[in-house]
Amino acid sequence: MGFGDGRPRVVAVVGASGGCGASTLTAAVCRAAARGGLTVVAVDGQPGGAGLDVVLALDHVAGVRWPDLARLRGAVDGPDLMARLPGSDGVSVLAHGRDGIPPPGPEALAAVVVGLAAARRDGGPDLVVVDASRERTVGSDLTWWPCVDLVVVVAGTGVLELAALSSVVAALDGLDADAVLVLRGERVPGRLCDDVEDSLGLPVLLTVAHDPKVARDLGRGVAPGSASGPMARAAAAVLTAVGMPVGRSVTTSRDALLGIPPGTRPDPSLDVGRSAEDESARGTDRRAVWRAS
């Protein structure tokens, strides 16, 4: 797939709270892109977790992991690093270890992402997907955020989860990065999506229902999103949003239906004092939420 500037696209997936499925979506996006013929590098920004290599079913593959980069200093050669990572079927991953060795600091993550993002297509990846920890990456070392083409913030729809989402969005506000929201839940009402958009000023790309295939696939050593289902369709929507549609075209995303480009931040004050007629028209235009269910 060709892009005019010849550089990889970079997507950062941020979970607003624990257990919302950010790592799962990261893996699904990687596998969907690889199935479409793209070369992908996944970067694990979640130290202390299970490891993104496990989620991608690459934990049995030898290669460089974060503990091997403990003494990393200075610039990173993206293609050289990519060649040393564990990988299979078009996806390579830089994952955290599970041996208790302290991970490198956020400056190492920044150097890796910048190095991969600077790589041209001859030996570099087509896509870099960062599973970004809200504590260690959002608002810590900011030098890699200008490389990011799209931030995908994943959140549940409970009261506490939406409060956490508000905090993450506030931290992203000064980064000047295009961002969209993905809400997890069963039958999320369109009205809630509207309220979230109005309150936070970011578009809801889609809602994603529980995907029973994810746990089953992980138990069989298969990465999430490798088959059809809510998570696979969510991955396709993210790739479409970043301008890398693969496989079946996703044309029914919320932003596509509304004509809203990623990163558009509507002014919530515009909603003040809407007439009933305006509200009715808004409802007609904005009920069309693409649900990955």
3-state secondary structure string, 234-269?
Answer: HHHHHHHHCCCCCCCCCCCCHHHHHCCCCCCCCCHH
Asked if residue 1 is part of any domain, the answer here is no
Lowest mean pLDDT among 6-10, 51-55, 95-99, 264-268: 264-268
103: containing domain: 9-292
**Interval 168-203: pLDDT, tens:** 998 888 777 899 999 998 889 999 999 999 999 999
Question: Average of pLDDT values for 121-132?
Answer: 89
Asked if residue 65 is part of any domain, the answer here is yes
**Interval 198-240: pLDDT, tens:** 999 999 999 998 888 888 888 888 888 777 788 999 999 999 9
Asked if residue 3 is part of any domain, the answer here is no
Output the pLDDT for position 180.
96
Asked if residue 201 is part of any domain, the answer here is yes
Residue 288 confidence (pLDDT) above 60: no
Asked if residue 104 is part of any domain, the answer here is yes
Asked if residue 4 is part of any domain, the answer here is no
Residue 280 confidence (pLDDT) above 70: no
Looking at the 3D structure of the chain, how many domains does it have?
A: 1
| Pick from 112, 230, 148: nearest CA to 182 | 230
Output the pLDDT for position 175.
78
* CA distances in angstroms from 112 to 79, 155, 167, 177, listed in the order given: 11, 26, 26, 18
Band (141; pLDDT cuts 50, 70, 90): low
Contact 268/198 with Cβ under 8 angstroms? yes
Residue 275 confidence (pLDDT) above 60: no
Output the pLDDT for position 219.
81
* CA distances in angstroms from 30 to 12, 61, 113, 231, listed in the order given: 12, 17, 16, 12
Residue 92 confidence (pLDDT) above 80: yes
Asked if residue 2 is part of any domain, the answer here is no
CATH of the domain at 139: 3.40.50.300
| Pick from 60, 91, 23, 28: nearest CA to 227 | 28
What burial class does residue 247 get, using C-beta atoms within 10 Å of its C-beta: 0-12 exposed, 13-18 middle, 19+ buried?
middle
**Interval 238-271: pLDDT, tens:** 999 999 987 654 444 454 433 444 444 343 333 3
Asked if residue 226 is part of any domain, the answer here is yes
Lowest mean pLDDT among 1-10, 17-26, 47-56, 87-96: 1-10
Angle, alpha carbons 51-204-130 (nearest 5°): 25
